[in-house]
Chain A
Amino acid sequence: DAGVIQSPRHEVTEMGQEVTLRCKPISGHDYLFWYRQTMMRGLELLIYFNNNVPIDDSGMPEDRFSAKMPNASFSTLKIQPSEPRDSAVYFCASSFGQRYNEQFFGPGTRLTVL
Chain B
Amino acid sequence: SQQGEEDPQALSIQEGENATMNCSYKTSINNLQWYRQNSGRGLVHLILIRSNEREKHSGRLRVTLDTSKKSSSLLITASRAADTASYFCATDENDMRFGAGTRLTVKP
Chain A residues within 8 Å of B, Cβ to Cβ: 4, 42-45, 56, 91, 93, 99-108
The answer to whether A42 and B98 have CB atoms under 8 Å apart is: yes
Question: Which residues on the B side are within 8 Å of A104 (C-beta)?
Answer: 45
Query: A-B contact count, CB below 8 Å?
Result: 45
Chain B interface, DSSP helix/strand/loop, else mixed: loop
Given contacts A43-B88, A108-B41, contact A103 B98 (CB under 8 A): no
Question: Which residues on the A side are within 8 Å of B43 (C-beta)?
Answer: 43, 91, 93, 103, 105
Chain B residues within 8 Å of A, Cβ to Cβ: 2, 30-31, 33, 35, 40-45, 48, 88, 92, 95-101
- Expressed in whole angstroms, the Cα–Cα distance for A101 and B31 within the complex equals 9
The answer to whether B44 and A105 have CB atoms under 8 Å apart is: yes
- Contact of A105 (CB < 8 Å), options: B30, B42, B95, B97: B42
CB distance from A45 to the nearest CB of B (A): 6
- Expressed in whole angstroms, the Cα–Cα distance for A104 and B33 within the complex equals 12
